[in-house]
Chain A
Amino acid sequence: MPIFLKMSGSITLRSCARYLVPFIIPRKRSVLCSAILQRYMSSKIPGVSYPKTESTSPPEQLGLDGWKITMKSSVQEEGVSPVSSSKDEDPLAAIRELIEMWRLLGKEVPEHISEEELKTTMECVSKSSKKKYLKYLYIKEKKKKANQIKKERKAATREKAIREQLLETTKEDKQQNFLFLRLWDRNMDIAMGWKGAQAMQFGQPLVFDMDYDNYMKPKELQNTVSQLLESEGCNRRDVDPFHLYFCNLKIDGAYHKELVKHYREKWDKLLLTATEKSHVDLFPKDSLIYLTADSPNVMTTFKHDKIYIVGSFVDKAMQTGTSLAKAKRLKLATERLPLDRYLQWDTGTKNLTLDQMMRILLCLKNTGSWEEALKFVPRRKYSGCLEISQHSQELVNGLKKSKTFNSSPKGSLNIHTQKRWLK
């Protein structure tokens, strides 16, 4: 136990502070103490063991001001404090110290911070944006640490299991008969590749409109690209994938750079069509339907002869009506999901993420059931499903029948049999 002695009597604590021999114990990390002092303490204190008996008789009443004198005097002994050492230091160091002090106060700031991150912090205009960025770093750091710990634990258990298995296998080394080699992952990849190629030839097109890079901040763009990755993955695994089009994708634009960064060499082998052209140039205008939550028209059924467009746009700045304006400009039909008809909406925006949209569309394409498809809407956003009455069900069916199928020849839509840049 650490010891603090209260010296009673006529001697002031200040003068006897140098005789106080604190007992060094391995302090927990959570004990907040400045780095300077720690260094000082560890260098100056002689490793004299202190008789334990002394500590068992603490004073009845704690001296109220004693701690102050110790706090001050310990520094006085040190001589010149580091306060005056550097007057004109660079602002990076200053901000690093600020972050350190915030950390001591228990604020949400990262423990370690790189030069580059420091610079980003400094470039934040306001105090609140600095705090926001630091909190982001803090959470990132925490996650990383937790993952590290998990990884180590897993490795340990695996090692243990292997050791146990080794003991067992030495006992019985039985010959076993198998039909397949364990090459499931690769087989799956190949199968998905085949399906993808088929979709490139005969699949229904689904367009991601990439014309939103001016509306987004870098953070939002990153989110968008990770959502795109997710949706592409979903599509690849599906029984009957869409033929994906990334339209308005500028080469060396922000989207393109980010996508290539994530896909690396796989980018050129992806079974989808990436093009700089607009969707209105590729497809007949009357078969295009722009999906946007701001649309006045509700989507009743999934039509297999239409080409749906999803705006790849993460909007955190509440720029409502951007995609609707785009559709209006190109005079395209618009639709929104019938969320209100099927779900008791609770909270959250009706803008869904790209991968949720993808799953819903895939599900609709395969089953045509809204109840099934809208299960991909995050559960936190709605409180329950609405029962569709028999009457309205009939109405919907009637609508379905009355819709004339103006089936354009399917082949004409799928001119591009492999992923390539359209010139």
Chain B
Amino acid sequence: MTLCFTGIRSFPKLWKSNPYLGLSLGHSYFSLFLKDRYGIREQQKWFSLKAVSAQNTKAVNLLVAKSRCVRKGDKGSNKEVSSDSHLFAAGAARKRSQMNPLREDHALPPVRNTIQLPTKPLTSEEWDKLKENFKGKANFASWIISQMAHSRSSIDVAKSLLAWVAAKNNGIVGYDLLVRYLYLCVFHKQTSEVIDVYEIMKARYKRLEPGAYTLLIQGLVRSDRWKEALLLLEDVKKVLIPSVRNYNDCIEGALLHQDVSLAWNLYQELLGRDLTPMLKTLKAFFDFGKNVKDEQYSNKLLDILLYLRNNHLYPEESFAHSIKTWFESVPGEQWKGQFTTIKESGQCSGCGKTMESIHLSPEEYEFLKGEIMRDVIDGGDQYKKTTPQELKRFQSFVKCCPPFDIVIDGLNVAKTFPKVRESQVLLDVVSQLAKQNLQLLVLGRKHMLTQHSRWRKDEMKKVQKQASCFFADNISEDDPFLLYATLHSGNHCKFITKDLMRDHKACLRDAKTQRLFFKWQQGHQLAIVNRLTRSKITFQHIPSYNTVVQTTGDSWHIPYDEDTVERYSYEVPTKWLCLHRKT
């Protein structure tokens, strides 16, 4: 630490002269520390190192972009997947963010490892020597073992450290050292060592903490003493709710040792605690199912698929493979699986079946309408988003107008193209839609009506001629009105905005309603996609099908996540697993 400070003090000019040092002060601090050990002349080198690393990230980004392009090219045939980046398609948000040039480069994690970690077991003198070199606030032994755990050293090295500590300390090794050692044992899958540590811990401590329990469970389930992992799980339950990971390990252990009923019991318990199981757990059931020829087991697996459906979960690529293999292994039913995509029309490219519609059922629709009215617009205090007077004015306005075909978020649409005047964009959009003889509603705020360089009165007049308009107070929120007007007009009505409406989704009461909202949003939201204003404005197409696990009895369609695509929480996968029975 002292070295580091002298380093900083001796190069004050450097700090000032280099503008980009000042920016990442916290970060360069450590790097400087690292390099300064070698002396002053290394300074120059350090700067070049930093420069290279910056280029590297850029290069990596380029590579990423390139690979993306390549992938795009590969799938040229599947037009509906590659060419459009639908607002809610998996990976679309990532692409959008990469278009943004202001993205910050990820800073490299600070490295402050001043001691070379040993690669082979050391003698006690060597450990002593190493300890002398160590200058830090922390306890040497716990510091070095955490470093070793971080870099996954071999367990022999760790063992020699523990032996050295024990020798110094009456044969006692601290609990934190034991846990870190246990981590290494579990990581390197050294079951016998795990059992040894387990014995020691059991003898020495009455109760452990969740970290050690998790490691022990993970280590023990592969051994013959896997039943004891269940006892450990019971111990965890006494104080805390076990993590899904604990359950996952136990279930995997039970399946590994052919105890199917126990595995299902644990799974039920996990669901009973309102935990969301890891996809790994579900995959384990499917993997195990290949060798089980049992009606009951099959039914339970189908239940898992329904669970995925109800909770809008999507399997990963490897899980999708497991599902496919299991279906194909079911005797006498002759399932055939293939990985496909769905056409824009909602037909599976594999079997030609039509997917479930994106539209809500009438009951769902009514339910959602009520929930949005209560939670998003009213929200317990009508004054928060609007005022009761305004709400009444709006409701009577909507009631006396004929149902609309399209509701436009005036401000969002107007600000789509920053270089063009707001009122003009709005007018373009409105007149284009009006030509199609659609009943329009433009929502906006009152300030749009006052003359301004960006809001011209004549253009607003033209807008008002072609569409019904409602202007809310300047401090009211317009999105709730948009949602209400759209929902009130009926199922055919769409709305135009680029807003993802995540804040309004978050206002909704529970996950089920939020999923319903998302489904409705997918089916009714139009977003402007083209970038040339004057040309014809084109909209994002609306998918006609719902992306969810679905079945018709003799066929299953399961959307899944590709390993290479990063999907954001409000996006849906584009890849499907199509399973159908040969007849």
Contacts and interface: CB of A to CB of B under 8 A. Distances in A.
A59 B383 CA distance: 79
B166 interface: yes
Given A4-B170, A67-B173, A105 B163 contact: no
A83 B383 contact: no
A67 B170 contact: no
A75 B123 contact: no
A270 interface: no
A30 B139 contact: yes
Contacts of B217: none
B206 interface: yes
B174 interface: yes
A150 interface: no
Contacts, number: 150
B536 interface: no
Contacts of A422: none
Contacts of A83: 202-203, 206
Contact of A130 (B163, B172, B240): B240
A3 B202 CA distance: 25
A127 B241 contact: yes
Contacts of A91: 238-239
Given A296-B475, A325-B381, A75 B163 contact: no
A400 interface: no
A378 interface: no
Contacts of B278: none
B166 A98 contact: no
A94 B173 contact: no
A111 B439 CA distance: 69
A104 B176 contact: yes
A384 interface: no
B510 interface: no
Interface stretch (B1-9, B80-88, B207-215): B207-215
B196 interface: yes
A101 B175 contact: yes
Nearest to A102: B209
A410 B389 CA distance: 35
Nearest to A74: B171
- Interface size class on chain B is 35 or more
A353 B381 CA distance: 25
Main secondary structure of the interface of B (DSSP, over half): helix
- Interface size class on chain A is 35 or more
Contacts of B385: 321
Contacts of A74: 171
Contact of B163 (A1, A67, A98, A102): A67
B171 A20 contact: yes
Interface in A50-78: 58-68, 70-72, 74-76
A31 B203 CA distance: 19
B121 interface: yes
Contacts of A328: 383, 387, 475
Contacts of A64: 121, 156, 159-160, 163
A32 B159 contact: no
Contacts of A101: 175, 205, 207-209, 212
A206 B474 CA distance: 28
A417 interface: no
Interface stretch (A33-41, A221-229, A242-250, A256-264): A33-41
Q: Which of A65, A82, A105 has the most CB of B within 10 A?
A: A105
B124 interface: yes
B171 A67 contact: yes
Contacts of B212: 101
A2 B170 contact: yes
B164 interface: yes
A97 B123 contact: no
B176 A32 contact: yes
Given A91-B239, A98-B207, A105-B179, A71 B171 contact: yes
Interface string B157-185: 00110111111111111111001000000
Nearest to A121: B239
Given A30-B139, A325-B384, A62 B160 contact: yes
A106 B156 CA distance: 24
Interface in B257-294: none
B199 interface: yes
Nearest to B477: A321
Contacts of A82: 206
Contact of B123 (A2, A62, A81, A321): A62
A33 B206 CA distance: 13
B168 A98 contact: no
Q: Which of A36, A94, A324 has the most CB of B within 10 A?
A: A94
Interface string A317-336: 00001101110110000000
B174 A62 contact: no
Contacts of B211: 105
A3 B159 CA distance: 18
A104 B203 contact: no
Contacts of B208: 101
A359 to B, nearest CB: 28
Interface string B200-240: 10111111111110000000000000000000000000111
Contacts of B122: 62
B166 A66 contact: yes
A322 B239 contact: no
A22 interface: yes
B238 A94 contact: yes
Identify the 3 closest CB pairs spanning chains A and B, nearest first: A67-B166, A70-B171, A4-B167
Given A71-B166, A101-B212, 12 more contacts: A22-B170, A37-B204, A64-B160, A70-B166, A71-B173, A83-B202, A85-B206, A94-B239, A95-B239, A98-B239, A104-B175, A127-B210
14 contacts: A1-B168, A4-B166, A4-B171, A20-B171, A22-B171, A33-B172, A61-B123, A67-B167, A67-B171, A91-B239, A107-B209, A296-B474, A324-B384, A325-B381
Interface of B: 121-125, 139, 142, 156, 159-160, 162-176, 179, 196, 199-200, 202-212, 238-241, 243, 381, 383-385, 387, 474-475
